Amino acid sequence: MAVYKLTYKGHKGASTPAWSRFLIPARYNYAKLTGIRFLMLFVTVSLFYPVGAAIYVYLSANSVFLTSMGFSPFEIDGEFFYTFCRIQGVLSYLLMAFISPSLVSWDISNGALQLYFCRPFSRLEYVLGKLSVLLPMLSILTWIPALILFAIKSSISEWSWTTENWWLARSVLLGLMLWCVLLSLIGLAVSATVKRRVAAGGLILAIYFGGTGLAGAINLVMGIESGSLFDLTRVTQTIWADLLRYDNGSNMTVSSAWIALCIVTALCLWLLNRRIRSFEVIK
């Protein structure tokens, strides 16, 4: 016989390894995100093109079938992957614009960040945790299907094709990974800076879609070409085209595109660091 009173009891238990703790917020974020139907639908729809592309790749090896249908045979080359990058690039950007604001703003809007940092949890771990939500989801839309397409083509072609074209795999992997990292940084930096979720999402979209207009306006007004560096699409497409050895008719130099990319990345990192630091140290 016993009576158990509800009093305060301490806690002594095992500790989880410190290095893995950055994944904890990620788990909770994933749990929330996977519950959003619209999001899961969007991801599914975004995979339609890769599936279509897979069929296309399959057909490319079957020139007999193609000629009988009246099409001329085609190659899987840099242009093919360039188009792939462009389309999946847009879709992944939209996904990022949808996810990023809700990743960070809930933590910032009610002063919750201080609760994270009064624990053995650093700013770096916080950002890594958010990245480990964004990067995998963006990867599913971008370089993972791209590499699968390459693998399909490689398996239905002769070995010589693979040896000649393995650089395609390397380039598309590099190009799309860069894209994923860039997107994640933009998403996190903007979401940490702009408090309200809808406004953050809007700004993220504006950076991409409005960038072209801004670049054009600058070029026109100042009569220069380098305004295009504000155009994120042009910058990344220039880099992709260079990596994939495809001439997309851009007159932007590759080196200036890389410089622009580095500047944007550095800007995002700086902004992110500043914003999160200011929540760690409450004035």
Partner 1 sequence: MEIIELSGLSVRFGKREILSDLRTTLSSRSVGLLGPNGAGKSTLIQALLGFCPVSAGTASILGLDIKRDRSRIRSFVGYMPENDALIANMTAVSMVRMMGELSGMEPKAALERAHEVLFYVGLGEARYRELGTYSLGMRQLAKLAQAIVHGPKLLILDEPTNGLDPPARQRMIRLIHEMIDSGEMHVVICSHLLGDVEETCEEVLILKLGRIVHHSNLAEERLANKRFVEIETLGELRGFGDMLAGLGCPCTVDVKGRFKLELPSDFDMRKIYGLAAERDLQLRRVSYRQDTLEEIFLKAMEA
Which residue ranges make up the site for partner 1 (CB under 8 A)?
Answer: 6-16, 18, 21, 24-25, 28, 32, 102, 106-107, 109-112, 114-121, 280-282
133 vs 178, which CB is nearer to partner 1? 133
- Between CA 191 and CA 110 the distance in angstroms is 14
Instruction: Give min distance, CB of 122 to partner 1, in A.
Output: 8
User: In this structure, are residues 138 and 184 in contact, taking their beta carbons and an 8 Å threshold?
Assistant: yes
User: In this structure, are residues 215 and 233 in contact, taking their beta carbons and an 8 Å threshold?
Assistant: no
23 vs 66, which CB is nearer to partner 1? 23
- Between CA 241 and CA 70 the distance in angstroms is 30
208 vs 279, which CB is nearer to partner 1? 279
Exposure of 30 by Cβ count < 10 A (0-12 exposed, 13-18 middle, 19+ buried)? middle
Instruction: Give min distance, CB of 1 to partner 1, in A.
Output: 23
Instruction: Give min distance, CB of 184 to partner 1, in A.
Output: 21
- Residue 96: C-alpha distances to residues 58, 204, 258 (Å): 30, 9, 22
Residue 11 tokens read as: 């806690």
122 vs 212, which CB is nearer to partner 1? 122
6 vs 221, which CB is nearer to partner 1? 6
Instruction: Give min distance, CB of 45 to partner 1, in A.
Output: 25
Length of the chain: 283
Instruction: Give min distance, CB of 170 to partner 1, in A.
Output: 38
Give the DSSP H/E element, type plus range, for residue 241: helix 232-243
